[in-house]
Chains A and B, each alone.
Chain A
Amino acid sequence: MELAVKKTEGKVQADVGIRKGLEGLTPEKIKRAIDRVFNAETGARIKGYKEICVRCGLCADSCHYYLSHDGDPVYSPVGKVKQTLWKLLEKKERISPEELERAALVAYTECNLCRRCSMYCPIGIDTAYIISVVRRICHLLGITPQYIQDTAHSHSVTMNQMWVKEDEWTDSLLWQEEEAREEIPTLRIPLDKEGADIMYSVIAPEPKFQPQLIYFAAVIMNECGMDWTMSSLPGWDNSDMAMFTGDLELMGRLKRVHFERAQKLRVKRIVMGECGHAFRSIYDVGNRWLGWHMYPVEVIHAIEFYWQMLQEGRLKVARKYEKPVTLHDPCNIVRGRGLHEKARDVVRAFCSNFIEMHPNREHNYCCSAGGGVINCGPPYKKVRVQGNRIKAEQLKATGAEVIIAPCHNCHSGLKDILEGYDVKGMGLSFFSEIIYECMEKPSAIQG
């Protein structure tokens, strides 16, 4: 499919999922969905934000899309809200299919819900929330991009993101355990151990494409002497693309399965792999849909876990990682959970040559893959890459060889950006890879 990338409003990127959904719409269906969302599912915030946004435009240059498109106002946060929320509120059921399609494309592929704009808006408007409400309407109307909708179907059928069957999951775990035991004979990945301290959960791409990350996690858990387990049954996947399609009911099902699995195993806490959006779903979005003020079982991110292990002296540095590294602060872990300083502590513990990128911490630029955008699939790779030239410039300026990006989507997104802008000599790494390479492994066979 040829990607037409015109930079003006009205540009249409044909998506078979959205197109098919539009075919089935009538003004009555549109009215029902809009009324439901604006009269029952939302209230003060949507009403308030539309009223008190003073259209000052100061959010514009906080957004990587806007900056990378040389100030095209179509990509500014307020510009995105204009094409989506205001259009829906103004036109209601009289909205045209073209306007709906544009709204869906803006909401699903031109905003990563990264929340950077909320830090730059003088009023403090939560644009990410507004865009996710637009996505909710699109979901209710059945106009979601094909690829991410397929992912939602996978969640619905298998309770994981990647159509991983139950035996494929346990096979992957047993395979990695077998591999790891060649290096550390005492290593086990305990399955369904009741009463363990920790349940370790991952996202489905790990068993499917990156099983070595499970290997590294198992080594770290074992060498730190942790009492841990993983679930062989559904509930092992903490990811959540339903949150991003607007299928909130499915999001609720996923989080319930995940937490109830941990509660059934009576673990004290859940440790998550290096992921961004799953974290957001667990303590910020999914839990709220289910009526939990916070997570019902404590969840800590891998970064917090590594930091704790270092603090407690369970994780020791055997040798330093010499290559010059930089740290990409993922939106959902930093703006989302304030883990920037702990991440830096871990980097400095293991790496001898750490170069900061600028801006950093809460002000870091999004990778433009998150918020479900990369999950909308290959048709939008160009939209993502062209929407983030500013990131390529930011990375290049560090002069580092390795970018530590503790989030799976950031990995893929940054890889596409490095390729798209021909940035040579830079590669990507997870924390666990570097930690595995440089940590002390007292139980490992030498040689």
Chain B
Amino acid sequence: MHQVYGFVVGPLAWIAFAVFVLGSIWKIYSMYRSAKTRDGQVLAYWNFKYALRSIVHWYVPFWSVNSRRHPFVTIVTFAFHISVIAVPIFLLAHVMLWDYYHGIRFWSLSEGVADVMTVLVILACLFFAGRRIFLREVRYVTSAMDWVVLIIVFLPFMTGFLANHQIGPYQVMIILHILFGEIMLAAVPFTRLSHILLAPLARGYIGSEFGGVRKAKDW
């Protein structure tokens, strides 16, 4: 068990982070190259002012028309995304690991807040699963990959919550949690999770077109 633990926090962690960081850089770079060589319009019409304008209007909840039309989805989605980014980075247990292994120290969330946020992620995943099952328009375009991606995100938070509260065999749970977390990181460049990197760019591009060329709002 200790050997397995040593492996997942040692070599496997290095591999997962390398795949995540290098893979993400490669992803963004290859999109840029693709735009430069075969889809020149994206770069030719890119406009930072209008790109930011669109990003701000969509990344502030309820500012866009469609977010107002789907208020519950908006609330869940924002709660999910804020938590899914904040908890892995600012959870006290993780901050302690950075300190222990690399001497890097930074601010952490309080335990109570992190706990609530983790539960929000878990509940949001259930909500998203529900949408895929019960809404016609979502069911029609849902494939196996959508379920895979959802489970990849759900598992680290579920096992992390269980490990933190010592529910179930701790040593097994913590290894699973680390493993699922590493899978999630490594999956970013190669699955739909790449929208973490690319969605702001897509938003910026359409914002540039709508704002700069078409003189219209895109929210």
Q: Which residues of A contact B (CB under 8 A)?
A: 40-49, 51-52, 54-58, 60-62, 66, 71-74, 76, 78-79, 82, 118-126, 283-284, 288, 293, 334-338, 340, 362-363
Contact = CB atoms under 8 A, between A and B. Distances in A.
Contact of B214 (A62, A122, A337): A337
Contact of B39 (A44, A72, A335, A362): A44
Interface of B: 31-32, 34-35, 37-39, 41-42, 44, 54, 58, 64-67, 69-70, 73, 77, 131-132, 135-143, 146, 192, 194-195, 198-199, 201-203, 205-207, 209-210, 213-219
Contact of B137 (A45, A71, A123, A293): A71
B149 to A, nearest CB: 8
Given A57-B131, A124-B203, 14 more contacts: A43-B34, A44-B31, A46-B39, A48-B202, A52-B194, A57-B140, A60-B137, A79-B140, A82-B140, A118-B210, A119-B217, A121-B66, A124-B207, A362-B217
B44 A125 contact: no
The 7 closest A-B pairs by CB, nearest first: A338-B215, A43-B38, A73-B140, A43-B39, A124-B206, A52-B195, A44-B35
Contacts of A74: 140
Contact of B66 (A52, A122, A362): A122
A428 B83 CA distance: 52
A54 B192 contact: yes
21 contacts: A43-B35, A43-B38, A44-B32, A44-B39, A46-B39, A52-B195, A55-B141, A55-B146, A56-B138, A58-B73, A66-B137, A73-B141, A79-B137, A119-B217, A122-B67, A123-B202, A124-B203, A283-B213, A334-B216, A337-B216, A363-B65
B39 A119 contact: no
B58 A122 contact: yes
Contacts, number: 139
Contact of A337 (B131, B138, B215): B215
Contacts of A79: 137, 140-141
Contacts of B146: 54-55
B215 A58 contact: no
Contacts of B217: 119, 362
Contacts of A57: 131, 135, 137-138, 140-141
B66 A119 contact: yes
Contacts of B38: 40-44
B202 A73 contact: no
Nearest to A41: B38
A340 B214 CA distance: 11
A335 to B, nearest CB: 5
Contact of B37 (A43, A284, A337, A338): A43
A82 B202 CA distance: 19
B45 to A, nearest CB: 8
Most buried by B among A66, A121, A123: A123
A78 B202 contact: no
B215 A52 contact: no
A119 B65 contact: yes
Contacts of A288: 41
Contacts of B140: 57, 73-74, 76, 79, 82
Contacts of A119: 65-66, 210, 217-219
A363 B64 CA distance: 12
A352 B210 CA distance: 32
Contact of A126 (B66, B142, B206): B206
Contacts of A42: 38-39
Nearest to A40: B38
B131 A338 contact: no
B165 to A, nearest CB: 30
Contacts of B135: 57
A73 B216 contact: no
Contacts of A293: 44
A57 B134 CA distance: 12
A359 to B, nearest CB: 8
B69 A61 contact: yes
A191 B131 CA distance: 62
Contacts of A122: 58, 64, 66-67, 77, 199
Contacts of B32: 44
A342 to B, nearest CB: 10
A120 B195 contact: no
Interface centre among A47, A58, A283, A284 (most CB of B within 10 A): A58
Given A52-B195, A58-B73, A120-B66, A44 B141 contact: no
A44 B42 contact: yes
A52 B141 contact: no
A357 to B, nearest CB: 16
Contact of B142 (A46, A48, A55, A76): A55
Nearest to A52: B195
